[in-house]
């Protein structure tokens, strides 16, 4: 009955051609919600509704996460995906935690200097565009792995909502229409066929988006699980795509891909315990470092977004990102000094040269520029029993490599750009790296994704995460501190403007209207360079309130929406 009502909902959205209005979103978007039982917060209202209906149908938080993930591949193709990878933190109702790594891997034929020319210089765009930029996708294996360990509902039920939306289509929002239109040139340039997303007339809000090829691929995954993607017709189409250009992924790469359960990074901050992602993500370690560096200070007394608190937090960010560049990479390939980096003694040693009166100086080196594409997507789920999932997934850039697998209808990632193509040369996020994150066959590229679950005095407190490339970690850092230190209600903690420092370039980036002109002046007087940029992160957070209810907040920087009951 509940699944039936979901299908009716999906069909309503899919077929409601009687809503020709070009104004406003074609479905309700809920930015804040308080519920008694369960909550789903995602980047797309349809995905949040799918998650809710799975929970109402008796699924647990992991079932809902799987269904949401496949649905986002349909309704949020700029970042939701089956051709990319991601990370998931699970905390079950008894407090047991797990981390699932379904990050992409370098193909076996990859090698250290593959993005350099004969002079040893990075070939601009080679790690970002076309099929040479594609890492071996991990999402489908990850979802199957998660289902085997935690799933309650049958696998096929978790694929059905996404398939319905791909076959029947759905009405796109104004923001989606704008993004689809912005990338039409890139889609045409990077495809030898006309994928469903290519539209010679501009996309308009409330246009219906139908993806029949993607639906066929999802049906194969529904019927055959891992083999529906890494073998058979889908694998054949991926390899044809590789052969049609300069891609190097082989059938062997696809067949040997495996997602991995890892021990999360745990760290304490006052009465809170944070559970986050270990390498190959830098998220957990870098977040732990930044929090350990600011913990000895009375942030609340320094004031929310005052020059004093922003200076302190930016200096912690500078130091942690410098360590990230040097020390972090795939721990299966490189000895990451994890314990040392997250130790309190190390944090105080790193902050020993911190001066409240003066900005530090990042090394003089090639300064990176931010690209506009920081697309990844995060969702947070809590079910009625208190099981929680924090999941971040990505194609890397908006629509990844922009290449849709011909006949299979999904975008391939361009995650290889998250490797350090050459020491000291920034990637699209301006991040520099070193030996730890050099390209090697079958290695996972370093990520910033920071799916996080926070306990307070041993009980579930918050589920949080965000997209945003290099700004992911600093966004989670700020949202947590906004609640835990500055005492902001969750809505303000998430919706408030954010700032970001990542060591190089040596600047504090701020969203428009984050800091008052006086605070900017004070920071400049300390020696900081403050630069405006577009939005930082799109946080999806759930807070367990003292009365046991759940508060979900979806970021107001997009169509993000909360659903619950």
Which positions are catalytic?
376
Nearest residue to ligand GLY, by Cβ distance, number only: 447
Q: For the CB of residue 445, give the shortest distance to ligand GLY in the complex, in Å.
A: 7
**341-380 mask for ligand GLY (x: CB under 6 A)?**
-----------------------------------x----
Cα–Cα distance measured from residue 260 to residue 330, given in angstroms and rounded to the nearest whole number:
12
- CB closer to ligand GLY out of 431 and 541: 431
Q: For the CB of residue 449, give the shortest distance to ligand GLY in the complex, in Å.
A: 5
Residue 563 to residues 70, 206, 553: CA-CA distances in angstroms?
Answer: 17, 21, 10
Phi, psi torsion values for 340, nearest 5 degrees: -65, -45
Q: For the CB of residue 128, give the shortest distance to ligand GLY in the complex, in Å.
A: 11
State the greatest distance between any 2 C-alpha atoms of the chain, in Å, as a whole number. Answer: 65
For residue 415, the 8-state DSSP code is: G
Which pair of structure tokens corresponds to residue 249? 């992924």
Residue pair 79/393 in contact (Cβ under 8 Å)? The answer is yes
Which pair of structure tokens corresponds to residue 23? 């104004």
- CB closer to ligand GLY out of 92 and 415: 415
Q: For the CB of residue 236, give the shortest distance to ligand GLY in the complex, in Å.
A: 27
Residue pair 417/147 in contact (Cβ under 8 Å)? The answer is no
The stretch among 64-72, 215-223, 312-320, 443-451 that binds ligand GLY (CB under 6 A) is: 443-451
Bridge partners (DSSP) listed for residue 564: 39
Among 131, 448, 475, 514, binds ligand GLY (CB under 6 A): 448
Helix (H, G, I), strand (E, B) or coil at 454: strand
Does 428 interact with ligand GLY (rule: CB under 6 A)?
A: no
- CB closer to ligand GLY out of 150 and 410: 410
Element at 269 (helix H, strand E): strand 265-269
Among the listed residues 421, 434, 438, 263, the one whose alpha carbon sits nearest the alpha carbon of residue 342: 263
Which pair of structure tokens corresponds to residue 373? 């594409």
Q: Of residues 465-504, which lie at the interface with ligand GLY (CB under 6 A)?
A: 469
Q: Of residues 86-145, which lie at the interface with ligand GLY (CB under 6 A)?
A: none
The residue count for binding ligand GLY (CB under 6 A) is: 9
Element at 262 (helix H, strand E): strand 260-262
The stretch among 194-202, 214-222, 444-452, 482-490 that binds ligand GLY (CB under 6 A) is: 444-452
- CB closer to ligand GLY out of 376 and 387: 376
Q: For the CB of residue 379, give the shortest distance to ligand GLY in the complex, in Å.
A: 16
**158-197 mask for ligand GLY (x: CB under 6 A)?**
----------------------------------------
The stretch among 148-156, 297-305, 382-390, 441-449 that binds ligand GLY (CB under 6 A) is: 441-449
Cα–Cα distance measured from residue 361 to residue 364, given in angstroms and rounded to the nearest whole number:
8
Does 418 interact with ligand GLY (rule: CB under 6 A)?
A: yes
User: What is the bridge-based pairing of β-strands 260-262 and 388-394?
Assistant: unpaired
First and final C-alpha spacing in the chain? 16
Does 426 interact with ligand GLY (rule: CB under 6 A)?
A: no
- CB closer to ligand GLY out of 315 and 374: 374
- Burial environment of residue 415 by CB neighbours within 10 A (0 to 12, 13 to 18, 19 or more): buried
For residues 454-488, b (16+ Cβ closer than 10 Å) or e, as one string?
A: bbbeeebbbbbbbbbbbbbbbbbbbbbbbbbbbeb
Cα–Cα distance measured from residue 39 to residue 50, given in angstroms and rounded to the nearest whole number:
12
- CB closer to ligand GLY out of 128 and 308: 128
Among 60, 286, 396, 452, binds ligand GLY (CB under 6 A): 396
Among 62, 64, 82, 449, binds ligand GLY (CB under 6 A): 449
- CB closer to ligand GLY out of 396 and 482: 396
Among 377, 394, 475, 502, binds ligand GLY (CB under 6 A): 394
Cα–Cα distance measured from residue 304 to residue 314, given in angstroms and rounded to the nearest whole number:
13
Q: What angle do CA 202, 207, 210 make, to 5 degrees?
A: 105
- CB closer to ligand GLY out of 387 and 471: 471
Cα–Cα distance measured from residue 404 to residue 186, given in angstroms and rounded to the nearest whole number:
11
Interaction site with ligand GLY (CB under 6 A): 376, 394, 396, 415, 418, 447-449, 469
């Amino acid at each position: 009955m509940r699944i039936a009502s979901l299908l009716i909902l999906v069909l309503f959205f899919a077929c409601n051609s009687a809503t020709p209005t070009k104004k406003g979103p074609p479905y309700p978007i809920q930015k804040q919600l308080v519920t008694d039982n369960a909550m789903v917060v995602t980047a797309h209202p349809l995905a949040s509704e799918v998650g809710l209906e799975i929970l109402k149908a008796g699924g647990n938080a992991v079932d809902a996460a799987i269904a949401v993930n496949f649905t986002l591949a349909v309704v949020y193709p700029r970042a939701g995906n089956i051709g990319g990878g991601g990370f998931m933190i699970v905390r079950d109702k008894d407090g047991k935690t797990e981390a699932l790594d379904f990050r992409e891997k370098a193909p076996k034929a990859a090698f250290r200097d593959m993005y350099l020319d004969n002079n040893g210089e990075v070939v601009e765009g080679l790690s970002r565009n076309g099929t040479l930029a594609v890492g071996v996708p991990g999402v489908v294996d990850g979802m199957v792995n998660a289902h085997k360990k935690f799933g309650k509902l049958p696998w096929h039920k978790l694929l059905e909502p996404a398939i319905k939306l791909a076959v029947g289509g759905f009405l796109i929002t104004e923001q989606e229409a704008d993004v689809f239109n912005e990338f039409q040139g890139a889609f045409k340039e990077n495809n030898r066929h006309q994928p469903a997303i290519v539209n010679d007339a501009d996309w308009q809000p409330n246009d219906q988006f139908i993806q029949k090829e993607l639906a066929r691929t999802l049906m194969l995954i529904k019927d055959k699980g891992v083999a529906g993607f890494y073998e058979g017709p889908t694998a054949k189409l991926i390899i044809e795509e590789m052969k049609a250009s300069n891609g190097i992924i082989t059938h062997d790469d696809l067949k040997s891909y495996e997602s991995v359960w890892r021990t999360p990074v745990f760290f304490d901050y006052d009465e809170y315990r944070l559970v986050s992602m270990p390498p190959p993500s830098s998220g957990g370690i870098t977040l732990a470092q930044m929090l350990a560096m600011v913990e000895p200070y009375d942030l609340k007394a320094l004031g929310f977004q005052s020059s004093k608190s922003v200076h302190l937090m930016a200096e912690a960010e500078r130091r942690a990102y410098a360590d990230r560049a040097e020390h972090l990479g795939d721990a299966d390939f490189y000895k990451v000094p994890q314990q040392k980096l997250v130790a309190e003694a190390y944090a105080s040693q790193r902050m020993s040269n911190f001066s409240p009166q003066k900005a530090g100086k990042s090394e003089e080196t090639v300064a990176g520029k931010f690209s506009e594409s920081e697309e990844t997507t995060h969702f947070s789920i809590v079910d009625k029993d208190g099981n929680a999932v924090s999941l971040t997934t990505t194609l890397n850039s908006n629509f990844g490599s922009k290449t849709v697998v011909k006949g299979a209808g999904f975008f391939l990632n361009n995650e290889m750009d998250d490797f350090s193509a050459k020491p000291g040369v920034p990637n699209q996020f301006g991040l520099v790296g070193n030996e730890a994150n050099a390209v090697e066959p079958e290695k996972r590229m370093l990520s910033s994704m920071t799916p996080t679950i926070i306990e307070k005095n041993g009980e579930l407190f918050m589920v949080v995460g965000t997209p945003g490339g290099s700004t992911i970690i600093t966004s989670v850092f700020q949202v947590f501190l906004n609640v835990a230190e500055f005492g902001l209600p969750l809505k303000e903690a998430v919706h408030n403007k954010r700032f970001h420092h990542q060591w190089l370039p040596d600047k504090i980036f701020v969203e428009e209207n984050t800091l008052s002109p006086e605070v900017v002046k004070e920071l400049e007087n300390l020696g900081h360079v403050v630069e405006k940029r577009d939005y930082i992160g799109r946080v999806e957070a759930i807070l367990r309130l003292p009365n046991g209810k759940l508060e979900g907040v979806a970021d107001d920087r997009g169509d993000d929406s909360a659903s619950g009951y």
